Structure formats: C-alpha cells, structure tokens
Amino acid sequence: AQSVTQLDSQVPVFEEAPVELRCNYSSSVSVYLFWYVQYPNQGLQLLLKYLSGSTLVKGINGFEAEFNKSQTSFHLRKPSVHISDTAEYFCAFGSARQLTFGSGTQLTVLP
Amino acid sequence: GAGVSQSPRYKVAKRGQDVALRCDPISGHVSLFWYQQALGQGPEFLTYFQNEAQLDKSGLPSDRFFAERPEGSVSTLKIQRTQQEDSAVYLCASSLGQGNQPQHFGDGTRLSIL
C-alpha cells in the first residue's frame, strides 16, 4: 500500500526567508508525485508534479521540489517566501485511479 | 469559467436528511474524482469515474453514499440519512485521463450536519 507522510504540520517562517516543506512516500509501484496548495475556503491548486525524468521539478509561484528515490522523499522548497504564500500545502501520491494525500503542512509567513 | 464547478458551496442539513452535491467537471475531461476532506486533514479518496463508468468506489465510507455520472459529464454525490460524522468538505476533481494526468479541483462543498 502507498502512503504519504508530511513531517511538519505547521511551519512558521519570516517573509523573504527560505522554506522547505518535507514529504516522504512509500510505494511499490511507479511513482507520480504532486504538491498542491489550498487557500482558505478554496479547492486545491496544483503547484508542481513529478512524473519522470529530471528529479528537480519547477512549479508555479517560484516553488520547486526534488524527487529523491533513495530517500523516498519529495520535499518542496522556495528560496524566498512572501506573505501571500501563507496557505496549506499538500503532498500527494498518484496512482492510476486516485490521489493519496498527506495530512498537510500549514505554512505561515510572518512579516 | 473553465474550471471545475461545485454546488452548493455550503449545505446545512439535519441529521437523517438526504443531501445531493453536484460537480461540473472541466469540459472534455474523461476522469472525475470525489474526495472527502475532514477539518484539518488532507483529502481522502471516495470514488472515481471514467466517462460514465464508476471504476472505483472503494473509498465510499458506507452504503449511504452513492455517486453517479449518467452522461459522462456532470456528477452527483448523494448521501442518504446523513449523520454528524458526514460533516466535511467534499471536493470534486477532473482530469484528462488516469495515472499521471494532474487533477483539477473545484472549490468544494462544505457540508454541515446538525
């Protein structure tokens, strides 16, 4: 069975500082990994995806993630955050018929 | 707009009532998914359609939950004899196909059972 673990439930960070949101997965099949962002009272918006190829994936809003097969990780990074990045972030594993989500990380950017 | 549309955005019902939640996927998207998101949690898979065929309903928590997509476009999630534990946000997503195609989500329906 596949599962996704987000190691930090809350991450506070000051504006313009770098941030890393951690995600680990377990799976015995082909790996498709995603990061989604959810703003209050809204649905999920795709930030980036890893399907195959280069292990460094660049997404929207300056975010990037690195797929590490040996460590079964897919951590999300941004070199300099903005107040507007405050939101809930979800890592997800994709199989043929569904997404399996982690429990989410609340990123709060402080002025 | 061109995104996934869900209605109503908010629904309040008394315990024991039946509710129906609607999802309009992105035009041309073959696959449609329903998820349940409890407060403070990540979404959990409920069911999956490919066109009008319901190929996976393994996530439906009980036989009170029923989903349909009769013409391969709009989908309805119905919950019969609602209970308080059904209170959650119900998210609908659609994609061009299965596997590695990204899913596009609607804003959800927030269901509150009193």
- Residues B10-26: tens digit of each pLDDT: 999 999 999 999 999 99
- Give A52's pLDDT tier (boundaries 50, 70, 90): confident
B45 pLDDT higher than 60: yes
Residues of B in contact with A42 (CB under 8 A): 107-108
Nearest-by-CA chain B residue for A34: B102
On the question of a cis peptide bond just before residue B8, with omega within 30 degrees of 0, the verdict is yes
Structure-model confidence comparison of residues A26 and B86, the more confident one: B86
Residues 6+ away with beta carbon under 8 Å from A63: A35, A47, A48, A76, A77, A78
- pLDDT number for residue B31: 94
- pLDDT number for residue A51: 86
Bridge partners (DSSP) of residue B90 are B36, B109
Give residue ranges of A with CB < 8 Å to any B CB.
Answer: 32, 34, 36, 41-46, 49, 51, 90, 92, 94-104
Buried-exposed string A3-27: b where 16+ CB fall within 10 A, e elsewhere: ebebeeeebebeeeeebebbbbbeb
The residue-averaged pLDDT of A79-91 equals 96
- Per the prediction, chain B carries an average pLDDT of 94
Structure-model confidence comparison of residues A99 and A75, the more confident one: A75
In what helix (H) or strand (E) does residue B13 lie, and over which residues does it extend?
strand B10-13
Q: Which fold has domain B5-113?
A: Immunoglobulin-like (2.60.40)
- pLDDT number for residue B53: 95
Handedness of CA B58, B62, B65, B66 (dihedral sign): positive
Nearest to B50 by CA among B97, B3, B104: B97
The residue-averaged pLDDT of A65-70 equals 92
A74 to A45, B78, B91, B93: CA distances (angstroms): 18, 36, 24, 23
pLDDT tens for each residue of B53-107:
999 999 999 999 999 999 999 999 999 999 999 999 999 999 987 667 889 999 9
B64 to A13, B58, B78, B83, B111: CA distances (angstroms): 43, 13, 8, 10, 15
Given a contact cutoff of 8 angstroms between Cβ atoms, the answer to whether B79 and B65 are in contact is: yes
What is the largest distance, in Å, between two alpha-carbon atoms of chain A?
Answer: 42
Distance CA B97, CA B32 (A): 9
pLDDT tens for each residue of A35-44:
999 998 888 9
- The token duo for A78 is 């941004």
What 3-state class would DSSP assign to A62?
Answer: helix
- pLDDT number for residue A95: 73
Instruction: Work out whether strand A10-14 and strand A32-38 pair parallel, antiparallel, or are unpaired.
Output: unpaired
Calculate how close chain B gets to A41, using CA atoms only, in Å.
7
Distance CA B21, CA B113 (A): 14
- Per the prediction, chain A carries an average pLDDT of 92
Structure-model confidence comparison of residues B79 and A29, the more confident one: B79
Given a contact cutoff of 8 angstroms between Cβ atoms, the answer to whether B18 and B78 are in contact is: yes
- pLDDT number for residue A2: 77
Percent of chain A having pLDDT more than 70?
96
Q: Which fold has domain A3-110?
A: Immunoglobulin-like (2.60.40)
Residues of B in contact with A45 (CB under 8 A): 105
